[in-house]
Amino acid sequence: MKTLKELKVGQTAKVVKLHGEGAIKRRIMDMGITKGTEVFVRKVAPLGDPFELTVRGYELSLRKSDAEMIEIE
């Protein structure tokens, strides 16, 4: 299983599955990250947290802990 956390700057991936429970999963889905969505990694902060992503045409910052819950291909 490969997660969003493993992507490097400039890579694109497709979301396969969201892991997690309840409010955390709902929050990720509310940000536009759902099954089948293309995600592009724009930047990563110097210490690796957070990531800046392009999702559905807008920029989104996401924590490492949240990125671990997003399975990609």
Q: Encoding tokens for residue 16?
A: 């396969």
Tell me phi and psi for residue 10, to 5 degrees.
Answer: 95, -5
Determine the pLDDT at residue 15. 92
Q: How far is CA 46 from CA 11, 35, 66, in A?
A: 17, 29, 18
Model pTM score: 0.82
Under a CB-based contact definition with an 8 Å cutoff, are residues 55 and 33 in contact? yes
The dihedrals phi and psi of 28, each to the nearest 5 degrees, come to: -65, -45
The CATH number that domain 2-72 falls under is 2.30.30.90
Please give the pLDDT value at position 20.
83
- Each residue's pLDDT tens digit, 21-67: 888 889 888 888 889 999 999 998 888 788 899 998 899 898 988 88
Q: Which pLDDT belongs to residue 24?
A: 87
C-alpha dihedral (61, 7, 1, 65), degrees to nearest 10: -30
Q: What is the pLDDT of residue 38?
A: 93
Q: Where are the domains of the chain?
A: 2-72
